[in-house]
Amino acid sequence: MTNDDTPDVDTARDAGPRPETQVVRVGRDANSSALSVPIWATTTFVADSVDEGRRMATSTTSSTFYSRYGNPTINAFEDAIAELEGAEAARAFASGMGAVSAVVLGLCSKGDHIVTQRQLYAGSQLLFQAVCPRFGIDVTFVDATDAVAWQEAVQPGRTVLVFAETPANPRLDLVDLDRLATLKGPMKVVDATFATPLGQRTLDHGVDLVLHSATKAIGGHNDVSLGVVAGSRELIDWIWGFAVLQGANAGPFDAAGGLKGLRTLGVRLAHQSASAQALATRLSGDPRVEAVRYPFLASHPQHDLARRQLRHGGGLLTFDVVGGLDAGRRFVESTELCQLATSLGGPETLVTHPASTTHVGLLPEELEAAGIGPGTIRMSIGLEDPDDVAHDVLAALGRAAGEPS
């Protein structure tokens, strides 16, 4: 939401706490009088009786049976995400891909059909194009930005799942969630990692499930590995049953780190979004850059949708360096403040060359379909002073272009 759209104080109070306030308070039911979440560093718990053990072994909400089923610290993180997303329940995993694979393989069976997009995190794409066929699950890929293509790809009576990612990795393409929710028949799942629960209230648009790689901005400090999916109690219970067998459950230390990250998510996102927009604006007129993608830039092809669907532009931006692969490599290898690493959402500004890292497993035609060129750079803006980041980026562009230092 932009400053122009911010309601006055009285209106905000009438509507309840703002998300930036809510994120500080959620997930505290198990805290007792402690401000910081207690870490239940145990795998198993003692039952009072056989009947109590049986009840816990068959309950999707038990937190004191066995930590693959549930754990008070992990459940607190799940409750926090569910509340932020306006969901009935949530399930945490050891990684974002743990969440993605549990949703896909937990909801789909042999003979089912999935519709997803070409603009995807490469791990998700490889799951869809390499793993799903082994289980007899057919997948159709469409252009994420084409609402009609989504509709036309759905096969009535056979399409079980529609899986979207918005904003998409790495070029920040958007999926119109209101249009997606109107698809009749299949369950609609959205990976909203780049937006976070503070940037996009995904379920409010009418889709069924929202998931995040909480390793990224939710954790926010590059020190936890977490995934989470939120939605109705019925769907989460179904996924929970598969997840217990899958075993990719979150650990209590990472869950506690996720809760700690949530407390500062609002202020981090405010700083990172402002810094990313300022840098994106600056790069837009730089002759050493072919194109810049940032949702809140007027030049973004889905700028109007971004303003309608997102509360902030986010801390990520993507641009293409003039000179292709060699220039892209020189750029990421010559930054000094910005570090070459593949994650995002943390306090350090990171630069990534997707074609050789995050999306290296894709064929040339698949990279082209995803809009990833040899000179494409993805940046995750951190918490440094934005002028220092800009100075480093502009200097690295000069070195990439062979300019005298």
* The pLDDT value given to residue 5: 44
Closest CA to 172 of 376, 385, 341, 393: 376
The tens digit of pLDDT for each residue in 220-255 reads 999 999 999 999 999 999 999 999 999 999 999 999
Is 66 among the residues known to form the active site?
Answer: no
Whichever domain contains 330, its CATH number is 3.90.1150.10
Residues 221 and 304 in one domain: no
Q: Which of 196, 229, 263 is the last residue in one of the domains? A: 263
The tens digit of pLDDT for each residue in 364-383 reads 788 777 788 888 999 999 99
Q: Which of 245, 263, 281 is the last residue in one of the domains? A: 263
Q: Which of 233, 263, 293 is the last residue in one of the domains? A: 263
Q: What is the mean pLDDT of residues 12-19?
A: 72
DSSP state of 128: I
* The pLDDT value given to residue 371: 80
Active-site hit among 68, 260, 330, 399 = 68
Active-site hit among 79, 112, 118, 121 = 121
Residues 326 and 241 in one domain: no
* The pLDDT value given to residue 14: 59
398 to each of 288, 289, 327, 331, 349, how far by Cα in Å? 8, 11, 10, 8, 19
Closest CA to 324 of 374, 397, 398: 374
Q: How far is CA 258 from the centre of its chain?
A: 14
Question: Looking at the predicted structure, is the pLDDT value of residue 198 above 90?
Answer: yes
The tens digit of pLDDT for each residue in 68-112 reads 999 999 999 999 999 999 999 999 999 999 999 999 999 999 999
Instruction: Tell me the pLDDT band of 6, cut-offs 50, 70 and 90.
Output: very low
**Residue 405 lies inside a defined structural domain of this protein:** no
Is 216 among the residues known to form the active site?
Answer: yes
- The structure tokens listed for 226 are 């977490």
Active-site hit among 91, 216, 263, 378 = 216
Residues 339 and 221 in one domain: no
**Residue 211 lies inside a defined structural domain of this protein:** yes
261 vs 317: CA distance, rounded Å: 22
Residues 258 and 308 in one domain: no
Concatenated DSSP letters of 324-354 = HHHHHHHHHHH-SSSEE-S--SSSS-EEE-G
Asked whether 71 and 63 are in contact (CB, 8 A), the reply is yes
Closest CA to 219 of 182, 184, 249, 261: 261
Please confirm whether the linkage preceding 374 is cis (ω < 30° from 0).
Answer: no
Residues 21 and 115 in one domain: yes
Domain count, the chain: 2
Q: Which residues pair with 163 in a beta bridge?
A: 116, 189
pTM: 0.93
121 vs 232: CA distance, rounded Å: 25
Of the chain, the percentage scoring pLDDT greater than 90 comes to 84
CA angle, residues 272, 78, 242, in degrees to nearest 5? 120
Of the chain, the percentage scoring pLDDT greater than 70 comes to 96
Is 68 among the residues known to form the active site?
Answer: yes
Instruction: Order across the sheet with 350-352: list the strands.
Output: 289-293, 316-321, 376-380, 350-352, 339-340
Length of the chain: 405
* The pLDDT value given to residue 85: 97
Residues 338 and 386 in one domain: yes
Question: Looking at the predicted structure, is the pLDDT value of residue 4 above 50?
Answer: no
Whichever domain contains 217, its CATH number is 3.40.640.10
Asked whether 93 and 214 are in contact (CB, 8 A), the reply is no
Q: What is the mean pLDDT of residues 107-121?
A: 96
Q: Collapsing DSSP states into helix, strand and coil, what is residue 379?
A: strand
Q: Which residue has the higher pLDDT, 362 or 28?
A: 28
* The pLDDT value given to residue 124: 95
The tens digit of pLDDT for each residue in 305-361 reads 999 999 999 999 999 999 988 899 999 999 999 999 989 999 999 999 888 777 777
Active-site hit among 176, 191, 254, 392 = 191
Range of the domain at 375: 266-400
8 vs 6: CA distance, rounded Å: 7
Residues 85 and 173 in one domain: yes
Residues 130 and 205 in one domain: yes
Strands 350-352 and 376-380, by their bridges, are: antiparallel
Residues 230 and 286 in one domain: no
Is 191 among the residues known to form the active site?
Answer: yes
Residues 202 and 351 in one domain: no
CA angle, residues 306, 308, 314, in degrees to nearest 5? 40
Residues 248 and 290 in one domain: no
**Residue 249 lies inside a defined structural domain of this protein:** yes
* The pLDDT value given to residue 403: 87
The amino acid at 57:
A
